[in-house]
Structure 1
Amino acid sequence: MVLLIPNDFPRFRGGGVPVQQSSSSTSPTLLDRVREFDAAAWDRLTKLYGPIVYRWCRQAGLQDNDAADVSQEVFRAVAGGIGEFHREKPGGGFRAWLWTITRNKIRDHFRWLSRRPGGIGGSEANERLQNVPDRVIEELDPLGDFDTTGCVAHRALEFVRLEFEERTFQAFVRTTVGGQRSAEVALDLGMSVGAVCTAKWRVLRRLREELDGLI
């Protein structure tokens, strides 16, 4: 599933300033770069959260094609509202905001289905429409879903990996993910113990910066 930048994405920025086609922003956080309408940042955001939104849609009972279509609508709404999103608000985390948009788009989808000629109708449609959001909430806690957090962090790590030398990144992975001792990793990679600790700190700091406000 490919999530594209909406055709009207530039118009969401005041004055109709075009989307930046390269990542020229100096902001270390992905969220801030998206709010500056950086096209590369938008692409990264959809790759991080597109699969999550799609999974939420599938768990709501949508078929593959419908889930993909609703996901597109979700990110169109994100593009339109990202400038007004403020993570400092109570309950204003990005994931909570994204879940609210997704839930509303799922509801819209089932309302649309109930109005289609030859589609489900009457009490069956009403019952399905009313039960879907409740069932999704019961089955999924998007704000405390460890798997969701882990998936987003893993994808983000693959992005920031490109910003480091391979040895630096391997020092981080082997100590933080693999749980190896710094001395052992230092010996294997031909680094000092201090350099391994520094590598671990640098990659972890960059990952936290990138995901600030997103998980």
Structure 2
Amino acid sequence: MFNLRKDEKLIEKALSGSQSSWITLVKRYEGLVYNYCLRMTFNSSDAMDLMQEVFLAVYRNLPAYRGDGKFKGWMMRIAANKTTDFLRARGRNPLHRADDVEEDSFHSHHSPENEYEAFADNRRIMAMLATLPEEQRLVVELKFFQHFTFEEISHQTGVAISTIKTRLYSALQKLKGQLEIQNVV
């Protein structure tokens, strides 16, 4: 609730021309938007480009933001739309191969052993997510990485809650099956 009020105040100041308020708003959400774009595109430079497009669109549309929902949700809807448009424009198949996951996307400041383990775990997770259809991957992203409720996901995507739950269940079953296969092999 506190962040919501803080966001509203920053938006109000940014609309009045305060550059520092806009920069504060961008800094607050740039990691969230970048990581979302990275998990959807599996490419750090594409994610960076998309993040810039998202914030440009947010800035241009800020006067149209009505404040009837959370700013974060409104902004992430723009991010989802920009990412979908990007994937369509590139003609990329949403079912990426594990090879598409960049090796330098995950950094850590721990020991080399811990860094390698974290890198390997993240790479496996990204590779497994890459096998999911785009609509299932989006639901997993919003539920587990963005911590949205089913109601927020429904509002964000325009899809019924029951359909979202079905997509999430199907995605989790596929991921579970992949984990079981990996643990056997």
TM (norm. structure 1) is 0.44
Task: Work out which structure has the larger RCO, using CA pairs closer than 8 Å and 6 or more positions apart in sequence.
Answer: 1
Residue matched to 1:195: none
Using the TM superposition, give the Cα deviation of residue 37 of structure 1 relative to its aligned residue in structure 2, in angstroms: 2.8
Q: Which residue of 2 aligns with 1:131?
A: 133
Q: How much is the aligned-residue C-alpha RMSD, in angstroms?
A: 2.4
Question: What are the ranges of 5 or more consecutive residues in structure 2 without an aligned counterpart?
Answer: 1-7, 97-131, 150-185
Write out aligned runs for 1:66-85 (5 A).
66-85=46-65
User: What SS class does the counterpart of residue 41 from structure 2 fall into?
Assistant: coil
Counterpart in the other structure of 1:38: 18
Identical aligned residues as a percent: 27
- 8 Å CA contact 1:59, 1:136 repeated in 2: no
Amino acid aligned to 2:148: G
**Unmatched runs of 5 consecutive residues or more in structure 1:** 1-27, 115-119, 146-215
TM-score by length of 2: 0.50
Q: Which structure has the highest helix share of the two? A: 2
- Whether 2:97 is the aligned partner of 1:93: answer no
2:17 alignment partner, SS class: coil
The superposition leaves residues 73-123 of structure 1 with CA deviations (integer Å, 9 ceiling, x where unpaired) of 001110111001011x2xx21011011000001001101211xxxxx5xxx
In the alignment, the residues of structure 1 paired with residue 51 and residue 71 of structure 2 have an alpha-carbon distance, to the nearest angstrom, of: 16
Deviation of 1:140 (Å):
2.6
Asked whether the 8 Å contact 2:14–2:21 carries over to 1, the reply is yes
CA distance in 1, matches of 2:136, 2:60: 26
Counterparts in 2 of 1:136 and 1:73: CA distance versus 1, 3 Å: same
Q: 1:63 to 1:86 in 2, by over 3 A?
A: same
Structure 1 runs of 4+ aligned residues shifted over 6 Å read none
